[in-house]
Amino acid sequence: MKRRTLLSAAAALPFAGLACKRLHKFPFGGELLGTSMEMGHFVRDGALPQPESYEPIGVIIVGGGVAGLSTARHFEGVGFHNYLLLELESEVGGTSRSGRNGVSAYPLAAHYVPAPTKELTNLVKLLDEAGVIEGYDSAGEPIFAEQYLVRSPDERIFFHGQWWEGLYLHAGESPEEARQYSAFFKEIDYWTLWRDAKGRKAFTLPRSKGSDDPEVRALDSLSFKAWLDARGFTSERLLWLLDYAVRDDFGSRLETTSAWAGIFYFAARKQGPGEESRPMLTWPEGNGFLIHHMQKVCGDRIRTGHAVTRLEPQPDGTVRIMAWNIRENRPVGFLAQRAVFAGPVQMAGRVIPALQKARGKTFFEAFPATPWLVANLTLRSRPSEHGFPVAWDNVIRQSNGLGYVVATHQSLRDHGPTVWTYYHALAGPDPKADWLKLAAMDWRACAELVVNDLKRAHPDIESQIARLDVMRWGHAMIRPRPGLLWSSELALSREPFLGVHFAHSDLSGLALFEEAQDHGIRAAEEVLDRISLPFAPASERRSGGFPGAASLK
Amino acid sequence: MDEVEATASLPAVEGAPLNASLLFISVFLIAACGLIYELVAGTLASYLLGDSVLQFSTVIGVYLSAMGLGSYLSKFINRGLAQRFVDLELAVALVGGFSAPILFMAFAHTHAFRPTLYGIVAAVGTLVGLEIPILMRILKDQVRFKDLVAQVLTLDYIGALAASLLFPLLLMPKLGLVRTSLLFGMLNAAVGLWSTFLLKSQMGDLFMVRLRCAVILVMLGLGLAGAHKFTLTMEEEVFSDEIVYAKDSPYQRIVMTRGRGSFQLFLNGNLQFSSADEYRYHEALVHPPFALNPSAKRVLVCGGGDGLAVREILKHTNVERVVLVDLDPAMTDMAANMPLMRELNGSALADPRVKVVNADAMMWIADDRSESPFDVAIVDFPDPNAYALGKLYTTRFYKLLKQRLAPGATISVQSTSPLMARQSFWCINATMEAAGFKTRPYHLAVPSFSVWGYILASQQPFEIPHQTLPDLRFLSNDAMAAMFAFPKDMDRVPTEINRLDNQVLVHLYTREWKRWS
């Protein structure tokens, strides 16, 4: 730890102390989980013994989140198996990881994907493989299996002492508030219909397929708040809904979110004006369902518990990789034809010293990420409540948290024990300070925060909790601040660096499954193009045969 | 009171002078208590057994004759009258105070309601019969005999008047039977405790006696605090008939009411059946799928924890196994054990062919691997008035159910009222069709409910059934055919399909039934 960060950690301590001043004994236990912070420090300090030898291999994928697994799955799909995926944690999945106990499986973070239209081919293919798609309609649009679409009711909000259906409270709305609500969605309709000269939509998933027209890009130069102000949106209800939306999807506030990202959230999920947003696909274990599927496809080419400490790209395009096998406590080395770095951009700077040097410090500072606290509460039975019945997503209006998702909602278990996943994005203006604050909190402080928030809607919640596990995410989501999404840094981050290719949702500036998958597949294709060029044309390779692969084994 | 002053001025013959005026207040109170127990027993017997004239006559008869017995027995009590009087109060407090909860429990859980009823009435009557003679003997040396008789009997009758007015006007509406009986039990015990002060000079170990009083007061007080387990007074105002059984299970509130010669079962306030016409409902639910599939051996019942559908199923002699999947063990236990329910369902759940599974039916049909495919399935869930019930009427549910059926299997589904909730009814039909079933909707009148609807379905096309078992109460071959004709005001309307991700049925159902409430 540097001196400065240590000092700010010390400054954050009173906050943690405050949270546990009331020494309340909880009638339940739990664990404080987190990403492997110690190994993270190893990686940063680089003070580990060198490996004795470097095993030659086709490709090394660094990082087993959605991006890295998508690269690996793409390799498998074209019959290329000469690769290894190295993952720091004991499980792959990154922020899509999940847990399971005697009551239910549950997400540790990401918990849904919007049901894709046929244009989102990669995601449609993955969902089809995983058994989520039952067939296709006459227009070629996928038909999703009922049990994977979010079961109704999907959302409710706690306000004025009771629960209400939906996230926007229409009850008690003034005529002006109603006008602003529909005016906002008219603005969204404009962008849903908008096409550039090439016929591309302004906002689409993945964003790489959307328009780069100056009219669209201009939206990135101001904050969502400034955009709303300019259009006279003052309705407190509407602004709350929009602020909630960006906190939930981007971990930022109206003031710290690019207007481009804010509009993207609403417009990219509609097919036409006035239409409902795309339905959601979800599973009790959240996106862990898709992770398990991708993991299965990759078989034994995944190495968990491997902390990559150094990537040294060689002038000939090969890459020397040093890693630490945590279980066996020994260094391992690889000499790869190519490497795919599928971790956060800031992390790339730490493990690729040459990249740090080449791109400079300011480049990496352009990628701030929001820390998150995610807690899983195992409940003995359902707590008492008033108003609209329990939904999938349950949001408390007067709270900084994002509410909770019921893991058993999708498994149809409506009585008795359940698991709730509580989300809290630390969306303050300074993510680094927020992370130090969160990192300094012990289990009790985290549990107090969670329980006190939930007590607003469920006064007897404490007596129902059997267990409360807390997950702290340092880098949960890249923050799409104004200016990032069309910045030179973001464009540069996608460019390969010698033999190292990059894949991560950071590279889109939006922490979305579709973006991570898009980059994972793009990186896989880039790598396959380079290493197989002398052996086979691309068309042959994509059809499944991959003659070049043999020579690399 | 002039008389009181007069009596107080008389010289005491034995021990310290007693405060006779205060003891006369006891007479008033114990008289009121005695009558309350009698009224509680008579009312309770009328609710539970019907025929209030018979119940009140027999209760009063037994009670008065027991009082006579008590008065006679008083002559065998010779020593320690004050001590005996306190003991007597405590005994009345216990037996009378707990009489209503004991009788409710005896009704719900034993076959011996009548013996318990008359046993309690006789015991309370005997004890109450002992009270006045003993009290008079305590006072006989304090007050002139003619005054004593006049005062005691006056207060005895005034107490009875007070009780007889309080009971119907205040106690029953505000407290209900259980709380009333417990409260008056406490009053009796309080009189006992108070008497230890009034009769101090004539008593021995005051500490032990007072301790006994305190213990009994606390017992009755705890009973009063827990009285909501038997009935809720609020609820008694909601239901048109008297509540004879109520229980909160983790899943729902089960309430049984009794009145007008029948009894009714409510889940979360929604009527499930009335014993007066449930045969119509259950015959129509069960026999049509058997009419299409008379050799069916394996039957699945989803919901239907009251065992009444199983009673009809077991009339088909080919049936070898019935699996009943109902969420709530409290419901199936009640159907298996409560005498009243067993009488109605013919002890169907005790039949060796029947297996009861307590599980969410949707999760069970998805997860169970132990049962082979079924030839007939009877789907008898509560109406879809909540999302947790709406899921049991979705394409997903019917598709899962399909996977548990043998080739040629037939099913029937209770589908709310096609008259009161026409769109809901046809929504269920459309949903079953979307899940791949061929359907034949039908209906009949169930007076307690309304016109009621069901869907008969199979995976293969089929004709309307024409034959059913002989000796049913409602269904005949002609009645069977008639059920499948829909008059214009109940005929098919286009609807959406109910899916897990839209739950349109819950919205439709709530909207349609709101018009009738």
Would you put residue A93 in left (φ > 0), alpha (ψ -120 to 50) or beta? left
Give the model's confidence band at A380: pLDDT under 50 very low, under 70 low, under 90 confident, else very high. Answer: very high
Indicate if B108 and B159 belong to the same structural domain.
yes
Q: Which of B250, B500, B503 sits opposite A415 (nearest CB)?
A: B250
Q: Does domain A151-278 have CATH number 1.10.8.350?
A: no
Closest Cα in chain B, distance from residue A390 (Å): 9
Show the tokens assigned to A302: 């995944």
Indicate if B256 and B307 belong to the same structural domain.
no
What confidence score (pLDDT) does residue B514 get? 86
CATH number at residue B438: 3.40.50.150
Residue B144, helix vs strand vs coil: coil
Say if the Cβ atoms of A153 and B503 lie within 8 Å: yes
Would you give the DSSP letter of residue B169? I
Query: Residue B297 half-sphere exposure, CB side, CA atoms within 13 Å?
Result: 6
- Mean pLDDT across chain B, nearest whole number? 88
Closest chain B residue to the Cα of A149, Cα to Cα:
B501
**Count of domains observed in chain B:** 3
Closest by alpha carbon to B230, among B217, B243, B216, B218?
A: B243
Per residue in A397-417, pLDDT tens?
Answer: 999 999 999 999 999 999 999
Indicate if B315 and B403 belong to the same structural domain.
yes
Test mutation, B268, B387, B391, chain A, max A CBs within 10 A: B387
A44-58, A474-488, B31-45, B51-65: lowest mean pLDDT where? Answer: A44-58
Is A379 at the interface with chain B, CB within 8 A? no
Residue B380: active-site member: yes
- Please identify, among B190, B225, B260, the residue that sits at the C-terminal boundary of a domain: B225
Separation between Cα atoms, residue B21 and residue B9, nearest integer Å: 12
Higher pLDDT, B24 or A342: A342
**Mean pLDDT value across residues A197-206:** 93
Closest chain A residue to the Cα of B392, Cα to Cα:
A412
Gap between the terminal Cα atoms of chain A: 41
Closest Cα in chain B, distance from residue A268 (Å): 21
Closest Cα in chain B, distance from residue A170 (Å): 18
- Mean pLDDT across chain A, nearest whole number? 89
**Mean pLDDT value across residues A137-161:** 95
Q: Is the pLDDT of residue A549 over 50?
A: no
Is A153 at the interface with chain B, CB within 8 A? yes
Domain ranges of chain A: 3-30+369-478, 39-96+290-364+482-552, 151-278
Say if the Cβ atoms of B250 and A413 lie within 8 Å: no
Indicate if B384 and B330 belong to the same structural domain.
yes
Q: Looking at beta carbons, which residues of chain B come within 8 Å of A149?
A: 499-501
Closest chain B residue to the Cα of A279, Cα to Cα:
B501
Which helix or strand (DSSP H or E) is residue B215 part of? helix B206-225
Say if the Cβ atoms of A151 and B501 lie within 8 Å: yes
Is B387 at the interface with chain A, CB within 8 A? yes
Is A384 at the interface with chain B, CB within 8 A? no
Q: Which residue has the tokens 């999760």?
A: B363
**Mean pLDDT value across residues A388-395:** 96
Indicate if B146 and B91 belong to the same structural domain.
yes
Indicate if B58 and B97 belong to the same structural domain.
yes
Is A149 at the interface with chain B, CB within 8 A? yes
Per residue in B100-128, pLDDT tens?
Answer: 888 888 877 777 888 999 999 999 999 99
Show the tokens assigned to B239: 């239901």
Residue B220, helix vs strand vs coil: helix
Indicate if B247 and B355 belong to the same structural domain.
no
Closest by alpha carbon to B383, among B265, B506, B469?
A: B506
Closest Cα in chain A, distance from residue B5 (Å): 59
Say if the Cβ atoms of A415 and B251 lie within 8 Å: yes
**Mean pLDDT value across residues B256-271:** 83
Q: Is the pLDDT of residue B205 over 90?
A: no
Compute the CA torsion angle A352, A353, A358, A359 (nearest 10 deg).
70
What confidence score (pLDDT) does residue B236 get? 52
SS3 of chain B: helix, strand, coil, percent, to 5:
55, 15, 30
Say if the Cβ atoms of A147 and B250 lie within 8 Å: no
Q: Which residue has the tokens 């106690």?
A: B171
| Interface predicted TM-score (ipTM) of this complex, two decimals | 0.84
Separation between Cα atoms, residue B389 and residue B393, nearest integer Å: 8
- Domain range spanning residue B287? 274-514
What confidence score (pLDDT) does residue B44 get? 83
Closest Cα in chain B, distance from residue A207 (Å): 27
Closest by alpha carbon to B508, among B352, B364, B353, B393?
A: B393
Closest chain B residue to the Cα of A415, Cα to Cα:
B251
Residue A218's φ and ψ, nearest 5 degrees, are -60, -25
Separation between Cα atoms, residue B303 and residue B252, nearest integer Å: 13
What confidence score (pLDDT) does residue B14 get? 46
Q: Looking at beta carbons, which residues of chain B come within 8 Å of A152?
A: 387, 500-503
Closest chain B residue to the Cα of A281, Cα to Cα:
B501
Test mutation, A276, A385, A414, chain B, max B CBs within 10 A: A414
Q: Which residue has the tokens 């069709």?
A: B433
Separation between Cα atoms, residue B297 and residue A471, nearest integer Å: 53
Q: Looking at beta carbons, which residues of chain B come within 8 Å of A384?
A: none
Would you give the DSSP letter of residue A195? B
CATH topology of domain A3-30+369-478: Polyamine Oxidase; Chain A, domain 2 (3.90.660)
Q: Does domain A39-96+290-364+482-552 have CATH number 3.30.200.20?
A: no
Closest Cα in chain B, distance from residue A409 (Å): 10
Closest chain B residue to the Cα of A150, Cα to Cα:
B501
Say if the Cβ atoms of B391 and A414 lie within 8 Å: yes
Indicate if B211 and B319 belong to the same structural domain.
no
Going by their DSSP bridges, the two strands A465-478 and A32-34 should be labelled as parallel
Separation between Cα atoms, residue B427 and residue A544, nearest integer Å: 47
Indicate if B98 and B19 belong to the same structural domain.
yes
Show the tokens assigned to B35: 């009558």
Q: Looking at beta carbons, which residues of chain A come within 8 Å of B395?
A: 146
CB atoms within 10 A of CB B496: 15
Separation between Cα atoms, residue A41 and residue A43, nearest integer Å: 5
Closest chain A residue to the Cα of B396, Cα to Cα:
A146
Q: Do A99 and A105 form a contact (C-beta atoms < 8 A)?
A: yes
Sign of the torsion formed by the C-alpha atoms of A199, A205, A206 and A211 = positive
Q: Which residues contact A3 (CB under 8 A, 6 or more apart)?
A: none
Say if the Cβ atoms of A149 and B327 lie within 8 Å: no
Separation between Cα atoms, residue A251 and residue A261, nearest integer Å: 12
Separation between Cα atoms, residue A110 and residue A289, nearest integer Å: 11
Is B394 at the interface with chain A, CB within 8 A? yes
Per residue in B334-370, pLDDT tens?
Answer: 999 888 899 899 999 999 999 999 999 999 999 999 9
Q: Looking at beta carbons, which residues of chain B come within 8 Å of A153?
A: 387, 503
Say if the Cβ atoms of A412 and B394 lie within 8 Å: no
Say if the Cβ atoms of A149 and B500 lie within 8 Å: yes
Query: Residue A186 half-sphere exposure, CB side, CA atoms within 13 Å?
Result: 8
**Mean pLDDT value across residues A344-373:** 94
Closest by alpha carbon to B187, among B213, B208, B205?
A: B213
What confidence score (pLDDT) does residue B423 get? 97
Indicate if B139 and B253 belong to the same structural domain.
no
Separation between Cα atoms, residue B95 and residue A520, nearest integer Å: 79
Is A281 at the interface with chain B, CB within 8 A? no
Closest chain A residue to the Cα of B390, Cα to Cα:
A152
Residue type at B205 in one-letter notation: D
Say if the Cβ atoms of B501 and A389 lie within 8 Å: no
Q: Looking at beta carbons, which residues of chain B come within 8 Å of A394?
A: none
Separation between Cα atoms, residue B378 and residue B12, nearest integer Å: 81
Test mutation, A104, A143, A149, A151, chain B, max B CBs within 10 A: A151
Q: Name A418's bridge partners.
A: A379
Going by their DSSP bridges, the two strands B321-326 and B354-358 should be labelled as parallel
Q: At what angle do helices B81-97 and B99-109 cross, to 10 degrees?
A: 40
Q: What is the pTM of this model?
A: 0.80
Catalytic residue, chosen from B380, B383, B478, B501, is B380
Closest Cα in chain B, distance from residue A166 (Å): 13
Indicate if B148 and B47 belong to the same structural domain.
yes
Say if the Cβ atoms of A413 and B396 lie within 8 Å: no
Q: Looking at beta carbons, which residues of chain B come within 8 Å of A147?
A: 396, 500
Is A416 at the interface with chain B, CB within 8 A? yes
Is B499 at the interface with chain A, CB within 8 A? yes
Residue B77's φ and ψ, nearest 5 degrees, are -100, 115
Is B258 at the interface with chain A, CB within 8 A? no
Indicate if B367 and B501 belong to the same structural domain.
yes
Would you put residue B503 in left (φ > 0), alpha (ψ -120 to 50) or beta? left
Q: Is the pLDDT of residue A25 over 90?
A: no
CATH number at residue B63: 1.20.1250
Closest Cα in chain B, distance from residue A500 (Å): 43
The top-scoring range by mean pLDDT among A522-531, B11-20, B130-139 is A522-531
Say if the Cβ atoms of A414 and B250 lie within 8 Å: no
Is A411 at the interface with chain B, CB within 8 A? yes
**Mean pLDDT value across residues B130-157:** 87
Separation between Cα atoms, residue A139 and residue A136, nearest integer Å: 8
Q: Which of B327, B363, B503 sits opposite A152 (nearest CB)?
A: B503
Q: Name A142's bridge partners.
A: A136
Closest chain B residue to the Cα of A282, Cα to Cα:
B501
Would you give the DSSP letter of residue A48? S
Say if the Cβ atoms of A151 and B363 lie within 8 Å: no
Per residue in B283-315, pLDDT tens?
Answer: 999 999 999 999 999 999 999 999 999 999 999
Q: Do A426 and A435 form a contact (C-beta atoms < 8 A)?
A: yes
Q: Is the pLDDT of residue B10 over 70?
A: no
- Rg for chain B, CA atoms, rounded: 30
Higher pLDDT, B3 or A519: A519
Is A276 at the interface with chain B, CB within 8 A? no
Q: Name A371's bridge partners.
A: none
